[in-house]
A and B are shown apart, each in its own frame.
Chain A
């Protein structure tokens, strides 16, 4: 895990090797502790241990802010961090709320104690589509408990056509439109962590999205504006408090897949150009052409390999 984390931090944070190793060592230790608690087979003890963790946020202030929304449902779009899991361990103590958490490989693991322990009646993991449907159905359940929807935009996915490309830590990265869709379908406020003062205070704050749009609809412009805001804050957490992040390797792999896909499209364009050239110009050396096309094909094939494996369910 240490090597994986070092590599991911080197790639994504562009810090010197010794700094990456230092950060990775701390992050690996924190993650190992979390993993050990999850695997302990004692969900309530794990939850209790999560609650004992020192949080880089003012829990009383956060709780006050969230409680001010009383019986309303709202959305927590958080980075996949130790702090997020620990904060939720506190929040699920509220017996009057239900918790719908996005279902991902990370949440299935780290929220296992929530689903197996004393909070199991109030917590459920749902896919993107199920969360959207659940939110839609809220109107039909006026007397039901308020719901805290929890998403993790840095590593959740949805159908390919609902993934939006935005820059993240200097790389092209894909983010699901789930959060904007929920927000523009009436699920507000939408909170995330604000790490702008972290360097000076060592504290994260909770911040709600202020929709500046004139029309309150999920238009392309509105969706992009919300995602840019959200991604900006999550990126800040990754930069300011990297040892808190749990999904470093996943983030680095997704960025690398995006990079590979972009290169494949470019190689295909070059191939397309050469093919038209060959058809139009008999002077183009046949041997050079064949060699070039073969080389382009080989490179595409290789860049595609992880994507193909993923599509086939091979990990």
Chain B
């Protein structure tokens, strides 16, 4: 992008940090909100689902802050993209404050590899660049993300990292991703991952998230477990004009039951619990609130019971959501439900084989 941006525009972008500009962006975000009624309605519903305790006025306020955060985040990305190398380094060094520096220090100095993860949250582009600089001279950083062919918004990162000049590396999420990632970790280096993206493939799982079950990918946990890596959460956001925070969290404890599938599941549960914690403290910065229900189980119809005695009826509701009583899947789930009710009914597993094909 740098090559096609006129230098005067680049200059304008870099200077777009005045209080007046901040106010203008906030205003644009507000107008955008008003012009996109259906998107605003979806967002409102999603916030209400995640935070049932909030009043209507509080949700509207949260929506406003969320839009502002998104607009600022996008402008920041564009600003970073037009900064010359020296300016970029200076900007990141000068304007980002570190929280949780003890976790950074331990991660830098410890012998084990590090997995640094962040959701698409706030000023994550600024945060990622700062993390690369923080690990410079200690451990080389490799970042995992979708190739620009798959996700055009990622096209700027390779250039950004090159201009930062820290020898960071990009790993695209393709068929060779697992090997490349493991190689990085084997060398005791740092792997950056963003676990809040998903696709419906065979590696997905469902984990608790805001009182429901969300789709999650097991990749981050898999790498951490395979390499016995230090798994560190990182969150970055804009505190005020020209002031950003990068917060390093305490390492997430890896599950060690000895059963890899179980450990991936449990570690992924912990990763999402950590993300939920941050999203509860300052929700406005998460980029994906507009698609919150899409990642939940069946449009968020199924809540996780809060009291232990409600689990079985809720399972019945889940069964009804997933299949009709007469379908093979429905019959299998009915037999499973009976078993969970301690009624010894023959399993209808055989019926389901008919649908999915016998092995």
Contacts and interface: CB of A to CB of B under 8 A. Distances in A.
A160 B173 CA distance: 14
A25 to B, nearest CB: 26
B349 interface: yes
A272 B202 contact: no
Question: Could you tell me the dominant secondary structure of chain A's interface residues?
Answer: helix
Given A161-B199, A269-B318, A299-B352, A276 B359 contact: no
B257 interface: no
A292 B319 CA distance: 15
A283 interface: yes
A273 B318 contact: yes
Interface in A280-300: 280-281, 283-285, 288, 291-292, 295, 297, 299
A276 B304 contact: yes
Nearest to A259: B355
A281 B311 contact: yes
A171 to B, nearest CB: 12
Given A161-B150, A263-B356, A266-B322, A272 B205 contact: yes
How many of chain A's residues touch chain B, expressed as a range? 35 or more
Contacts of A268: 204-206
A308 interface: yes
Contacts of B200: 261, 265
B308 interface: yes
A262 to B, nearest CB: 9
B297 A272 contact: yes
Residue from the set A270, A283, A303, A305 with the largest chain B CB neighbour count within 10 Å: A270
B315 A302 contact: no
A81 B318 CA distance: 42
A281 B298 CA distance: 23
A303 B356 contact: yes
A291 B335 CA distance: 13
B355 A263 contact: yes
Contact of A304 (B202, B205, B355): B202
A283 B342 CA distance: 11
B202 A284 contact: no
B336 interface: yes
Interface in B230-269: 261, 265
6 contacts: A161-B150, A259-B356, A269-B322, A273-B318, A299-B332, A302-B353
Contact of A271 (B206, B302, B339): B206
A233 to B, nearest CB: 28
A281 B206 CA distance: 18
Interface in B331-359: 332-333, 336, 339-340, 342, 347, 349, 352-353, 355-359
Contacts of A308: 202
A256 interface: yes
B204 A265 contact: yes
B208 A276 contact: yes
B323 interface: yes
Contacts of B308: 280-281, 283
Nearest to A295: B349
A308 B265 CA distance: 21
B339 A275 contact: no
Contacts of A263: 329, 352, 355-356
A306 interface: yes
Interface in A236-274: 256, 259-261, 263-266, 268-273
Contacts of A295: 336, 347, 349
A276 B212 CA distance: 10
A91 B15 CA distance: 60
Q: Which 8 A-B pairs have the closest CB atoms?
A: A272-B206, A303-B356, A281-B308, A266-B322, A302-B359, A272-B213, A277-B311, A260-B356
A307 interface: yes
